[in-house]
Amino acid sequence: MSPLAVLCVLCGLFQAPALSEVGTRGCKPRKSVPFDNGSIKLFREKGVWDYSTMLLREDLGLLFLGGREAVFVLDIRDISSKKTQVYWQVTDEKQIECTYKGKNAETECRNYIRVLHKVDDDRMYVCGTNAFSPTCGHMTYAKGRLTLEETLEEGKGKCPFDPVQRHSSIMIDGDLYSATSMNFLGSEPVVLRSSLIAIRTEFKSTWLNEPVFVHMDLVRESEGSSEGDDDKVYMFFSENAVEYDFPNKLMVSRVAARLQGGLGWSADTAEEPSLPYMIQDVFLLQHSDWRKSIFYAVFTPQSGSADLSAVCAYSVTAIGDVFSKGRYKTPVTVETSHVKWVMYSGELPVPRPGACINNAARKQGIKYSLDLPDKTLQFVRDRPLMDEAVQPLNGGPQLLKRGPMFTRIAVDRVTALDGHSYDVMFIGTENGFVQKAVNYDGEMFIIEEVQLLQHPEPIKTLRLSAVTGQLYAGSETAAVQMALSDCGRYSSCLDCVLARDPYCAWQPTAALCTAVSSTHNSNRTLIQSLIDGNASLCPSSEGVSPESYTLIPGNNIRLQCQPDSNLAEVRWFFNDQPLRPSDAKYFLYGEGIMILNASAADSGLYVCQAVERVKGRQYPRTLAAYQLQPGEGDPELPPTETPSTEAPPTKSTTETPSTTPKLLDVGPTFLALSSNEHGKLIAMQVSVALLSLLLVALLTWNVFQGNLPFLGCYGARPQTSSGPGQTQSSPPNFNSRQVPFQAKVSAERKLLVTPSNCNTSNNHFSEELTSNHNLPPGAVSSLDVFKYINDESEI
């Protein structure tokens, strides 16, 4: 038995004010990809929950997925394809015993798979909570069948009792290293090595004080060591700090290291006067030279008042230097009868406390930590904390972002066309998204955010396979698979280059965005610019053909234009002249523009551009163009010239409407139609006429019965709920190809109000307009002034 020495505080020691001052500018994802079953693979089994334990077997091409009372074997390339499964349910006796102890029979008193590790080629080690009676065993996979062996063993110290309690474990050379709780109440934390010689930590509050275990990983530091150093197991966790004079509980994040060939743990920590951020997950990005390996860690605030999440990176050598060269803390008793921790300045015993057993120590006959002199062991027992903190790379967080909290992280190292390697971070969030981000020379760039789950829920597990190029995520209700890159999302050269995705590059000859790894010898013809985002390398493209529609004087006309990049600024031009946000004639919002009270003077060419800025350069793209022509009742209107819509580079359209638009009159609302819809005019007119007669008859009957008194006579209050002739508080889901909307309203109540869920933060032009409140005279804030008619089925 040997003491656990607690280790260094990480990025969580940043002061909260300092994190706030860093700011989050530039941390908006460039693209937001909504939930789409066509781009992701999803697995769920009826009656099974909590898909939070994963074991990737790339050697078998399989993913072993642990859930509540079940382990599934899935195809690693398509997890929606289930190979087989084994169910491991609790017995009735165990469930009854669990309920007698005050636990819920349907939720807590079940068997949640929490440990799943590879032992050899066809065997896995598995542990479950088993109704607050943790149990472990072996599973075999052979000939397409998964079998749970009958011989089971007690899982105390290997698997948590409580399914919601955080834990960590790792299997190394047949030995299980675990960090969890040893008792039913979860009040006795333990760090355990299960092998022929079982080793565990003593229970002492100065070593483990209500810890939350997060992650364990192995670093092969013995490779290439001239001093005969040993491999190390690093453990990350948070706990209540004993070294601070704080009125309430103060959690700090720590890392501990254990010599894999030894029998004990060595220690480290640091001091900080403000509330530290809490570590949530860790990913080890391994390098062929272990000295270049990096730990990536996710942090969130321990107070609910902040909404900042951070990602920090730590060099393995920097952590090792704090252990081997750092100073220690020591407890001293002061007159106020409490213990104060200060830096130790006395003489150090030999060998150095917490140092690895190397060749020099072995020459003295010290092969294990139990062989260490009593002075060294006693020093570690009394002084488990280090005085210095491990500093993150670049001196601060790699990523700092407001919004939904980060939960998990996985990192892939990608070699780009410029020959440099870039670390691509995939970060899970509490609302079911994964954010894909890269740090380019200190500039954090979020390439995209992908919605993995249809309904918001936390990402509990992330696993990455560089072999298959896939990311696997687990949550309470499902397991999801997504590709590390989907270059097909980028429709043009400009879009592809500005994405700054190291996986993707533009292929000019094929005119598509392609994966870099699959191009082999054609790399010289590809266009990619990650550091600078230089899209001027792209060839020029053709302009957008304008869509032609008829303008009805006195109506409000809606022209649709929604950028495909959250970083783009939308600009509108009328006959080659920019529209001013201060002009009350126009109303801009997230999905387009509304021309208020249109007149004959408003006929002409409207062009919508999206402009992205990178490194001080602007890159415009034409997204849409509309040619509004006067109606037949305006012979005095002069013909309108058609300016060019060329803008380098541009986006082409898939359909060019006829230059002879038709107009459908449907009573109080008008809808402009292109010529391919002309064949439905007669049927629609008849339908509208019949519907109008029916509504008039119904209205007359209700008035006659006294159910609907005239508002003007009886002074009835206007209704606030939506109904026929009113606009709902949420806008309809417009298709990407939709004709402009025109609404006929009375002269004294012409108005357009921005839909409540418009994402104006993606449109800087509309932000400025909204902040200036540029609405026409007499505008009110209600949404029931006019109604949409999106297609013929709504008439």
Q: pLDDT tens, 441-495? A: 889 999 999 999 999 999 999 999 999 999 999 999 999 999 999 999 998 999 9
Q: Identify whether 450 is part of a domain.
A: no
**Could you write out the three-class secondary structure of 391-415?**
CCHHHCCCEEEECCCEEEEEEEEEE
16 and 58 in a single domain? The answer is no
- How remote is the C-alpha of 26 from its chain's centroid? 16
Q: Rank 269-283, 359-373, 609-623 by mean pLDDT and report only the highest.
A: 609-623
151 and 169 in a single domain? The answer is no
137 and 170 in a single domain? The answer is no
Q: Identify whether 444 is part of a domain.
A: no
pLDDT at 428 over 80: yes
281 near 298, Cβ under 8 Å? yes
129 near 162, Cβ under 8 Å? yes
- Of the residues 159, 175, 200, the one at which a domain ends: 159
Q: Identify whether 467 is part of a domain.
A: no
**What token pair was written down for 449?**
């955010």
- Whole-number average pLDDT of the chain: 77
pLDDT-based confidence at residue 259 (cuts at 50, 70, 90): low
Q: Give exposure, 704-743, as e/b (b: 16+ Cβ within 10 Å).
A: eeeeeeeeeeeeeeeeeeeeeebbeeebeeeeeeebbbbb
pLDDT at 25 over 80: no
CATH number for the domain harbouring residue 289: 2.130.10.10
Question: Among 565, 562, 561, 557, which residue's Cα sits nearest to residue 546?
Answer: 561
166 near 213, Cβ under 8 Å? yes
**What token pair was written down for 388?**
């210095």
pLDDT in tens, 169-206: 999 988 999 999 999 998 899 999 887 555 665 555 55
Which residue would you say has higher pLDDT here, 572 or 122?
572
Domain count across the chain: 4
pLDDT in tens, 599-638: 999 999 999 999 999 998 999 999 999 999 987 544 333 3
Query: Quick one: what percent of the chain has pLDDT higher than 90?
Result: 48
- List the single range of 272-276, 538-542, 725-729 with lowest mean pLDDT: 725-729
Distance CA 596, CA 583 (A): 11
pLDDT at 726 over 80: no
pLDDT in tens, 302-337: 876 678 999 999 999 999 888 888 888 888 877 765
122 and 228 in a single domain? The answer is no
User: What's the mean pLDDT in 526-547?
Assistant: 90
Type of residue numbered 140: T
pLDDT-based confidence at residue 280 (cuts at 50, 70, 90): very high
227 and 371 in a single domain? The answer is yes
Which residue would you say has higher pLDDT here, 541 or 127?
127
User: What's the mean pLDDT in 113-137?
Assistant: 95
User: φ, ψ for residue 642 (rounded to 5)?
Assistant: -110, 100
607 and 594 in a single domain? The answer is yes
143 phi-psi bin (left φ>0, alpha ψ -120 to 50, beta other): left
- Of the residues 537, 568, 595, the one at which a domain ends: 537
pLDDT at site 406: 97
pLDDT-based confidence at residue 751 (cuts at 50, 70, 90): very low
Q: Identify whether 628 is part of a domain.
A: yes
Domain, as residue range, for 514: 487-537
186 and 98 in a single domain? The answer is no
- List the single range of 429-443, 592-606, 769-783 with lowest mean pLDDT: 769-783
Question: Among 263, 271, 295, which residue's Cα sits nearest to residue 281?
Answer: 295
Which residue would you say has higher pLDDT here, 409 or 675?
409
At residue 628, the 3 state secondary structure works out as: strand
pLDDT at site 530: 96
Query: Quick one: what percent of the chain has pLDDT higher than 70?
Result: 72
pLDDT at site 457: 96
User: What's the mean pLDDT in 494-521?
Assistant: 88
- List the single range of 18-27, 590-599, 621-630, 641-650 with lowest mean pLDDT: 641-650
Q: Identify whether 40 is part of a domain.
A: no
- Of the residues 126, 159, 192, the one at which a domain ends: 159
535 near 498, Cβ under 8 Å? yes
pLDDT at site 303: 74
CATH number for the domain harbouring residue 753: 2.60.40.10
- List the single range of 14-28, 129-143, 427-441, 678-692 with lowest mean pLDDT: 14-28
149 and 269 in a single domain? The answer is no
124 and 171 in a single domain? The answer is no
607 and 645 in a single domain? The answer is yes
pLDDT at site 260: 61
Distance CA 550, CA 349 (A): 90
Q: Identify whether 30 is part of a domain.
A: no
pLDDT at site 122: 85
630 and 773 in a single domain? The answer is yes
pLDDT-based confidence at residue 240 (cuts at 50, 70, 90): confident
pLDDT at 749 over 80: no
Q: Identify whether 693 is part of a domain.
A: no
- H-run or E-run covering 376: helix 374-382
223 and 279 in a single domain? The answer is yes
Q: Give exposure, 667-677, as e/b (b: 16+ Cβ within 10 Å).
A: eebbbbbbeeb
User: What's the mean pLDDT in 775-783?
Assistant: 36
Q: Identify whether 415 is part of a domain.
A: no
Distance CA 458, CA 540 (A): 43
Question: Among 393, 427, 400, which residue's Cα sits nearest to residue 412?
Answer: 427
CATH number for the domain harbouring residue 513: 3.30.1680.10
User: What's the mean pLDDT in 1-6?
Assistant: 36
- List the single range of 287-301, 421-435, 475-489, 713-727 with lowest mean pLDDT: 713-727
User: What's the mean pLDDT in 696-704?
Assistant: 73
Which residue would you say has higher pLDDT here, 117 or 540?
117
Which residue would you say has higher pLDDT here, 382 or 315?
315
pLDDT at site 703: 66
Using alpha carbons, list the distances in angstroms from residue 134 to 155, 159, 171, 569: 5, 6, 18, 56
